[in-house]
Structure 1
Amino acid sequence: MSKVAVMGSGSWGTAFAAMCADAGEPTVLWARREEVAAEISDRHTNADYLPDVELPPSLTATVDPQEALAGADVVVLAVPSVGISEQLEAWGQHIDGDATLASLIKGVDVDTMRFGSQVIADTLDCDPDRVVVVSGPNLAKECAQRQPAATVAASPDASRAERVQAAVMAPYFRVYTNDDKTGVEVAGAVKNVIALAAGMAHGMGYGDNTKAAVITRGLAEMARLGVRLGGDAMTFAGLAGVGDLVATCTSPKSRNRTVGERLGGGESLDDIIDSMNMVAEGVKSSRAILGLAEQAGVEMPIAQGVVSVCHEGASPEDLVGALLSRSAKPEVYGM
């Protein structure tokens, strides 16, 4: 019998598990804290991450990773990119040797500049094609509220991508498969960095023209890097590319956009991070993404500006000035 184990009970992990349950899959959610697991199983809520959302009665949770993973043919990794290796080393031996692994990670390891699927495959010493990357315009609370949405499940192994597609294709959630795992994963990581910049623009009081320019030029940066790393240019015109970018850059529900907005309003990054109970992946990943761009010989001026603000002491005003003072160029270059 098939079963889905979702490892990580944050907002997106919980929402994803709820959709799997709504899709008719027996689903178990692994939580680190006993009180969270008990709340999900007994009260069908996760108030810390998804307040005012009712979860499916069939969804259960546990703090025992071995219990969650037992018999699972789909294992969903819904933990932050920071620390994923340590998590897998702790309980990865309980994953079935042929289980399909679905990565919800939208970040890059700062020290090794590896994307989430690479870290998973390396840590478990498994075929990289076992890892399916799931990415799209999927704000967790809207998905948990069962609002219509869509996403992409990407792997060169079509059968594994189709298994993940079936696992989470709830009546309100449409899943498309794609064999361009590289492009989908690059898009999912880079859009968080661009969302920080879009949030800064909003926080500084700039209007829709400015934000549209940031999103569009951010898409160009994303596509340049993705194509150079082996992705398909068409991927960036789809759900995982422009779709996710628009949602993350414009929605107040987006963590990265919110962090950028508060930076643009004059708050310090340390104060912002201390006040949040969720991770904004773009803050940490920005340096690794810029490092990948430099290795690949790809210009990413918006990403460079975000790194300068988040990690090098520059102000959001400095970012605007740096972008506006760049030399004139054609709109399309470097692909």
Structure 2
Amino acid sequence: MTHRIVILGAGVMGSAMTLPGAHGGSRVDLVGTHLDEEIVRSVAGNGLHPRLGVTLPARVEAHSWTNFGTVMREPPDLLILGVASAGVGWAIDRIVESVSAPVPILMVTKGLTAGEDGIGLLPDLVAREVERRTGMAMPVMAIGGPCIAGELAAGRDTSVVVTGADADLLARVIDMLEAPYYHARPSADVAGVEICAAFKNFFTLAVGAPAGQLERQGRAGNGALMHNHAASLFTQALREMTVLAEHAGGTAETVTGLAGAGDLYVTCQAGRNGRMGKLLGLGIPYSQAKREHMSADTVEGAQLALDLGPTLRRMAETGALDPARLPLAFAILDTVCNDAPLELRYDLFHRSAI
């Protein structure tokens, strides 16, 4: 059976999803945001995605965001949201003004929301707002796990989890995205997957710091590096992600799986969060590092600290979270929000495990 998939957001991850989407024969409409006009023109012209460096499948048709209403006139079998977290509100507006019938939504967008009651999940926000404004209940699912867009676009083996409340719908979505190189498995733990998807960027700031400390201190006399140090921080990050996931209703199993350990591992290998961590490890205050070295980059982990810092501190003050179980998280918050040196206190890490 031929399906039809619409992807809103023509950045690297949204566009990379066209490959598994089209592999099984689905028709794919790739709709750019107002920031993607150059990409849309290129894909519509010769199929080449200029940022991914690959030619997208022939079954992919690119559209400007101004044509989203026309594209959605015939409800697709699946709508994938590939916008950045900052564009979720914009995407909700486009959905509300364009849909005429309920459509399953799959989010590759990562992030969390801050509220008076604590941390909120983006799939919940999208589902709630769409239903409030249209009167239509739409299932909203999400993807988590280690997925670098360029590797997916190149057809490299990639394993992910697709999470949502409806097991039958998850199975249908996974079937729509089936490809020899795209290995998706279902998860009912929406909270755990979403907490991991957002906080892996945050904790990579700390795991990346030993690279800066090594550059500052130099190799030991015998040539020794700091892999032990980085691995210890990686493990502490997983421990604290488990605390946060379980608080949100998620499971430890999710944190030790693809959505947690897998995604944290791949994020630590390369990218903006690790580069910022290295700068912090060099002893450069966050605001200076951002201004002088990464002014044009969105550092997702640091942005999460700025967005959720007040909420996490309020949760600690009210007893909703125990800061003694989250020493690395609060050290990162102090570094990003207050320009404090990044203190990696092993004595506190050991106590947090008790």
TM-score range, shorter chain: 0.7 to 0.9
Task: Please state if 1:192 is matched with 2:196.
Answer: no
* 1:101–1:131 contact (8 Å) kept in structure 2: yes
Write the distance in 2 (CA, Å) between the matches of 1:209 and 1:96. 55
| Secondary structure at 1:114 match in 2 | strand
Q: How big is the shift at 1:197? A: 1.4
- In the alignment, what sits opposite 2:192? 183
Amino acid at match of 1:310: V
Amino acid at match of 1:11: V
Tell me the alpha carbon deviations over residues 195-222 of structure 1, each in whole angstroms, 9 at most, x when there is no partner.
1211222233262111111111100111
Q: Of 267, 270, 276, which aligns to 1:259? A: 276
Over the aligned positions, Cα root-mean-square deviation in angstroms equals: 2.4
* 1:110–1:287 contact (8 Å) kept in structure 2: no
- In the alignment, what sits opposite 1:61? 62
Amino acid at match of 2:99: I
* 2:130–2:138 contact (8 Å) kept in structure 1: no
TM-score under structure 2 length normalisation: 0.83
Amino acid at match of 1:213: S
Q: Of 99, 105, 109, which aligns to 1:105? A: 109
| Structure 1 unpaired stretches of 5+ | none
- In the alignment, what sits opposite 2:220? none
Task: Please state if 1:117 is matched with 2:123.
Answer: yes
Number of aligned residue pairs: 322
Q: How big is the shift at 1:228? A: 1.7
Q: Of 39, 42, 62, which aligns to 1:36? A: 39
- Over 3 Å counting, the alpha-carbon distance change for 1:37 and 1:327 in structure 2 is closer
Residues 232-251 of structure 1 correspond to what in structure 2 (within 5 A)?
Answer: 232-249=251-268, 251=269
* 1:129–1:155 contact (8 Å) kept in structure 2: no
* 1:89–1:123 contact (8 Å) kept in structure 2: no
Task: Please state if 1:309 is matched with 2:315.
Answer: no
- In the alignment, what sits opposite 1:10? 11
- In the alignment, what sits opposite 1:208? 227
Q: How big is the shift at 1:129? A: 7.4
* 2:211–2:281 contact (8 Å) kept in structure 1: yes
* 2:210–2:229 contact (8 Å) kept in structure 1: yes
Q: Which has the larger radius of gyration?
A: 2
* 2:276–2:289 contact (8 Å) kept in structure 1: no
- In the alignment, what sits opposite 2:245? 226
Identity score, percent: 25
Q: Of 125, 131, 134, which aligns to 2:140? A: 131
- In the alignment, what sits opposite 2:24? 23
| Structure 2 unpaired stretches of 5+ | 215-224
Q: How big is the shift at 1:236? A: 1.4
TM-score under structure 1 length normalisation: 0.87
- In the alignment, what sits opposite 1:46? 49
Amino acid at match of 2:105: L
Write the distance in 2 (CA, Å) between the matches of 1:214 and 1:272. 24
- In the alignment, what sits opposite 1:297? 321
